[in-house]
Amino acid sequence: MFVSPLPGFETLAGVVLLNTQIPSFVPIRYLYIYIFIKFVPQIIPMLSFNNTEVSFSGKSNNDLNRSYWLFKMVSNSTFVNLGKSLTTFAINTHLPIKGLIKATIFKQFCGGENIEECDKTIKELGKFNVGTILDYSVEGKETEHDFDACMTETMETVAKAKNDKNIPFCVFKVTGLARFDLLEKVSAKYNLSAEEQKEFGRVQLRVNSICKAAHEAGTPVFIDAEESWIQTAIDDLANQMMVLYNVEKPIVYNTYQLYRKDRYAYLRHSFELAQQGNYYLGAKLVRGAYMEKERKRAIEKGYPSPIQDSKENTDRDYDAAILFCTEHIDRIAICAGTHNEHSSMNLANLMNEKTIATSNKHIYFSQLLGMSDHISFNLANAGYNVAKYVPYGPVKEVLPYLIRRAQENTSVKGQTGRELSLIIKEKERRKAAKK
Ligand SMILES: Cc1cc2nc3c(=O)[nH]c(=O)nc-3n(C[C@H](O)[C@H](O)[C@H](O)COP(=O)(O)OP(=O)(O)OC[C@H]3O[C@@H](n4cnc5c(N)ncnc54)[C@H](O)[C@@H]3O)c2cc1C
């Protein structure tokens, strides 16, 4: 018997038979081939990341020009290093450069200085079915007052998300709620002093308050992954929250950094825990952002580096993690946090192969605001679930984040080369379309 190549094909074949002049003696397999060639490209829009018209549909000519000059400038490492020193100096000595930063690099990579200021970005992305994940990007705070303020701010993002269909997730970093050294001690299973135990109790309460609010609002929340030597404390907190809040649906997502040699096994272990505990596993899958720091510390302290020996190994484990999750998608909800075209296409292809609907809420793709719009906008245009991390906070406070984005983009061969070439292609397309 000839097997239908796609679900629903028999029905479609029946409709075509009734409405065309194809004689009934034509073998059914020829009919399937006819339908496949004629109709399927219209049913399933072909996914491509090269369509710059879609990629930059949210950008006016002015926006595109600003991005062009920005990526051109940050591709020069001397400029970036000089810019970093000058900007830090100017901000610290209160020179009036906030306006300049806000109109340039801040505008490219951040949503605003507070939640209200992000509204324009949220709406703009929403027009193209791209969601927003508000990311309060204030770093390096170390007092109890700062941690409480960060918790309150994150809970405000949860309240905002509850009433806005364009905000599918919230996010926080545990280092925004706890002292780094304390997390390191907890991870290393040191004996905490009575004072430290109380301090960690307050951290648990903060994490719980955010996750409880997310559960009540029905808005899932990501817990970002950080340095390996504080990650055990973060993992334990994330697992405790999943036990509490992921019973009916995935609310809390831990983050798995596949650049670590042990994380694929840990992902599988987390799934076993979820099955035993009868809750959903929420998993944000990333490669990992602290590679140099991790390797340097391992050498300094004389332990084997936890990081994969090569990029190929990281890619292999990332693919394996994606495959594993799609095989258990009824009980695992994932977000692929990546700017890698292969990884994004691979996940889309796997969904297609396994006939997982593009709109399945257990699968999201995510990129950072201002980066890889060609991935985000083309995926959203083809019906996949996509959300951008939209960092926000006072200009002075998000400066370290902006400097990291600039530094990450200095290689002309890497990300910037890709961003620039796509921007140039779109500028040329628009020019030609005007003629
Ligand atoms: C939405 C979103 C959320 C994120 N959340 C987190 C988070 O919570 N925690 C976190 O740590 N990061 C996070 N990141 C950053 C992420 O981990 C990566 O650093 C970044 O996205 C680059 O990886 P890539 O998959 O986009 O692409 P690629 O450019 O394909 O990969 C670059 C990455 O590969 C790895 N790599 C590069 N060279 C080597 C090598 N020689 N050996 C081994 N591995 C190598 C590194 O992880 C490097 O960052 C997030 C990114 C996004 C887009």
Ligand 1: which residue has its CA nearest to atom 30? 340
The tokens describing 18, both together, are 């009734």
Q: Is 215 in the pocket of ligand 1 (CB under 6 A)?
A: no
Q: Is 287 in the pocket of ligand 1 (CB under 6 A)?
A: yes
Q: In whole angstroms, what is the distance from residue 98 CA to residue 90 CA?
A: 9
Q: Is 254 in the pocket of ligand 1 (CB under 6 A)?
A: no
CA of 40 to the centre of ligand 1 (A): 35
Instruction: Find the helix packing angle between 194-217 and 180-187, rounded to 10°.
Output: 100
Q: In whole angstroms, what is the distance from residue 435 CA to residue 433 CA?
A: 6
Residue 16: CB partners within 8 Å, gap ≥ 6?
A: 22, 31, 34, 35
pLDDT of 74 reads 82
**pLDDT exceeds 70 at position 18:** no
Look up tokens 């491509």; give the residue: 48
Q: Is 339 in the pocket of ligand 1 (CB under 6 A)?
A: yes
CA of 143 to the centre of ligand 1 (A): 29
CA of 255 to the centre of ligand 1 (A): 12
- Summarize pLDDT for 394-420 with one digit per residue, the tens: 998 998 898 888 877 665 456 667 888
Q: In whole angstroms, what is the distance from residue 316 CA to residue 376 CA?
A: 23
Q: Bridge-partner residues for 366, per DSSP?
A: 337, 387
- Summarize pLDDT for 157-215 with one digit per residue, the tens: 999 999 999 999 999 999 999 999 999 999 999 999 999 999 999 999 999 999 999 99
Look up tokens 């390797």; give the residue: 295
Task: For residue 26, give the DSSP letter.
Answer: S
Q: Bridge-partner residues for 136, per DSSP?
A: 392
Fold of the domain spanning 111-392? TIM Barrel (3.20.20)
CA of 286 to the centre of ligand 1 (A): 6
* Minimum-distance ligand 1 atom for the alpha carbon of 415: 29
The tokens describing 414, both together, are 């890497």
Q: In whole angstroms, what is the distance from residue 71 CA to residue 416 CA?
A: 6
From-to residues of CATH 3.20.20.220 in the chain: 111-392
Ligand 1: which residue has its CA nearest to atom 25? 338
Q: In whole angstroms, what is the distance from residue 262 CA to residue 324 CA?
A: 15
Q: What is the pTM (predicted TM-score) of this model? A: 0.89
Indicate the SS3 state at residue 413.
Answer: coil
CA–centroid distance for 133 within its chain:
9
- Summarize pLDDT for 300-359 with one digit per residue, the tens: 999 999 999 999 999 999 999 999 999 999 999 999 999 999 999 999 999 999 999 999
* Minimum-distance ligand 1 atom for the alpha carbon of 307: 43
Ligand 1: which residue has its CA nearest to atom 32? 287
Q: Is 288 in the pocket of ligand 1 (CB under 6 A)?
A: yes
The whole-number average pLDDT for the span 268-279 is: 98
**pLDDT exceeds 50 at position 41:** no
- Summarize pLDDT for 203-259 with one digit per residue, the tens: 999 999 999 999 999 999 999 999 999 999 999 999 999 999 999 999 999 999 999
